[in-house]
């Protein structure tokens, strides 16, 4: 597999096992949602690995501990891209329950895969002071990811990551070309896009599989 700069692939065996089940066309919506929730927790662990720590003094039941470490200063905001990114939100919040949440609604023009339109945006008022993790189930063409990063940066955010369950080389390239400073955290990288701009072998339409709409 090609090595992509500024891309983290969560290659933990449990993540890879769950992603194999997500690929399976026989996995129903209930199990699909549960798997996305679980995989999102694992990936959030990787996405927050570089949070800074500071030492504090703590009184234990048996004495003092002077070099305990807690997260220092940096606050987080999760911004799912509606609708498929919503399936990842609960998993991320389970790991970082104090994070604030923004929402962006974006749809890709299916007649022209290179354009995306935003129709909704509600972000935390202090997003400029937070580390932002954009959530979407897949990074396919990359146009929605680029648009979301555009929106978040326009709101003042500077520390941004993009977290998805499944990516492909075309989507990675598109996001890196537009926003080389945005780190990508994904569960797996599939082969590429077909003529209909779906990831292959892929998981199909992630939103439909999450919510049982097809």
Total structural domains within the chain: 1
User: Is 168 domain-assigned?
Assistant: yes
Single pTM value for the model: 0.92
| Listed residue (43, 72, 78) closest to 157, CA to CA | 78
Question: Could you tell me how far CA 60 lies from the centroid of its own chain?
Answer: 36
User: Is 207 domain-assigned?
Assistant: no
* Alpha carbons 202 and 188: distance in angstroms, whole number: 10
Asked if residues 79 and 131 have their Cβ atoms less than 8 Å apart, the reply is: no
Q: Which CATH number fits the domain that encloses residue 181?
A: 3.40.50.2020
Quote the Cα angle for 147-200-162, to 5°: 30
User: Is 1 domain-assigned?
Assistant: no
Q: Is the dihedral of CA 80, 83, 88, 90 positive or negative?
A: positive
**Which residue range(s) make up the domain with 96?**
7-202
Per-residue pLDDT in tens (0 to 9) along the chain, 214 residues: 456 888 999 989 999 999 999 999 999 999 999 999 999 999 999 999 988 888 889 998 988 988 888 888 779 999 999 989 999 999 999 999 999 999 999 987 766 657 788 999 999 999 999 999 999 999 999 999 999 999 999 999 999 999 999 999 999 999 999 999 999 999 999 999 999 899 999 999 888 898 888 7
């Amino acid at each position: 597999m090609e090595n992509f700069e500024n891309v983290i692939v969560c290659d933990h065996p449990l993540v890879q096992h769950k992603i194999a089940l997500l690929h399976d066309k026989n996995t129903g919506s209930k199990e699909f949602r549960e798997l996305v929730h679980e995989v999102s927790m694992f990936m959030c662990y990787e996405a927050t690995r570089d949070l800074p720590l500071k030492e504090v003094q703590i009184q234990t039941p048996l004495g003092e501990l002077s070099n305990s470490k807690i997260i220092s200063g940096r606050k987080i905001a999760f911004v799912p891209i509606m609708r498929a990114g919503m399936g990842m939100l609960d998993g991320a919040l389970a790991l970082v329950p104090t994070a604030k949440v923004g929402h962006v609604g974006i749809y890709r023009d299916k007649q022209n895969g290179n354009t995306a339109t935003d129709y909704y945006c509600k972000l935390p008022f202090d997003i400029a002071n937070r580390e932002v993790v954009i959530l979407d189930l897949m990074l396919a063409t990359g146009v929605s990811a680029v648009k979301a990063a555009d929106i978040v940066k326009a709101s003042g955010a500077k520390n941004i990551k993009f977290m998805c369950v499944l990516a492909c080389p075309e989507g990675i390239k598109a996001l890196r070309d537009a926003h080389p400073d945005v780190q990508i955290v994904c569960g797996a990288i599939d082969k590429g896009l077909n003529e209909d701009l779906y990831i292959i072998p892929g998981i199909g339409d992630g939103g439909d599989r999450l919510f049982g709409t097809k």
